[in-house]
Structure 1
Amino acid sequence: MGQKVNPIGLRVGINRTWESRWFAKGEEYAELLHEDLAIRKFLKDKLKNASVSKIVIERPHKKCRVTIHTARPGVVIGKKGADIEKLRRELVAMTTGEVFLNLVEVRKPETDANLVAESIAQQLERRVAFRRAMKRSLQTTMRMGALGCRIMCSGRLGGAEIARTEQYHEGSIPLHTLRADIDYGFAEAMTAMGIIGVKVWIYKGEILEHDPMASERRLQETGEQRARSGRAAA
Structure 2
Amino acid sequence: MSRKKNSSSLNITNNKTWNSSWCIYNQEEFRYLLQEDLVVYSYIRSQFKNFELMNIINLRIYRINDFLIIDLAATYISFTMRELITIFLNSLSIFLNKYVYVAINKLSYLISIKNAFNIALKIAKLIEKRIKFRSKIVKTLIKKVKDNTRGIYVQCTGRINNVDMARVDKLYLGSVPLQSIKAYIDYAFVVANTSKGLQSIKVWVCK
Question: Any idea what the Cα deviations from partners look like across 1:89-120, whole Å, max 9, x if unmatched?
Answer: 12213434211110001113222211111111
Query: Which whole-Å CA distance do the structure 2 matches of 1:130 and 1:92 have between them?
Result: 41
Question: Any idea what the Cα deviations from partners look like across 1:125-161, whole Å, max 9, x if unmatched?
Answer: 1111111254232112112x11121111110012222
| Offset at residue 172 of structure 1 (A) | 2.5
Q: Does 1:49 align with 2:53?
A: yes
1:139-158 equivalences under 5 Å are 139-143=143-147, 145-158=148-161
Is the contact made by 1:134 and 1:151 (CA closer than 8 Å) also made in structure 2?
A: no
2:21 is matched with which residue?
Answer: 21
Q: Does 1:165 align with 2:198?
A: no
Mind listing any 5+ residue stretches in structure 2 that lack a counterpart? 1-12
Higher relative contact order (CA 8 A, sep 6+): 1
Q: What is the SS of the residue equivalent to 2:53? A: coil
Query: Which whole-Å CA distance do the structure 1 matches of 2:30 and 2:156 have between them?
Result: 36
Is the contact made by 1:121 and 1:198 (CA closer than 8 Å) also made in structure 2?
A: yes
Equivalent of 1:61, from 65, 68, 80? Answer: 65
Please provide the CA RMSD for this pair: 2.4
Q: Identity over the aligned pairs, expressed in percent?
A: 24
Query: Which whole-Å CA distance do the structure 2 matches of 1:201 and 1:141 have between them?
Result: 11
Is the contact made by 1:54 and 1:68 (CA closer than 8 Å) also made in structure 2?
A: yes
Q: Does 1:33 align with 2:34?
A: yes
1:212 is matched with which residue?
Answer: none
Question: Any idea what the Cα deviations from partners look like across 1:160-217, whole Å, max 9, x if unmatched?
Answer: 222111111222333444554322222222111111111111121xxxxxxxxxxxxx
Query: Which whole-Å CA distance do the structure 2 matches of 1:184 and 1:94 have between them?
Result: 34
Mind listing any 5+ residue stretches in structure 1 that lack a counterpart? 1-5, 13-17, 205-234
Is the contact made by 1:129 and 1:158 (CA closer than 8 Å) also made in structure 2?
A: yes
Question: Any idea what the Cα deviations from partners look like across 1:35-57, whole Å, max 9, x if unmatched?
Answer: 33333343342422211001011
Task: Specify the code of the residue in structure 2 equivalent to 1:102.
Answer: A
Task: Specify the code of the residue in structure 1 equivalent to 2:77.
Answer: P
Higher strand share: 2
Q: What is the SS of the residue equivalent to 1:184? A: strand
1:120 is matched with which residue?
Answer: 123
Q: TM-score, normalised by structure 2?
A: 0.79
Query: Which whole-Å CA distance do the structure 1 matches of 2:105 and 2:182 have between them?
Result: 25
The range that moved more, 49-58 or 179-188, is: 179-188
Q: Does 1:111 align with 2:114?
A: yes
Is the contact made by 2:130 and 2:161 (CA closer than 8 Å) also made in structure 1?
A: no
Q: TM-score, normalised by structure 1?
A: 0.71
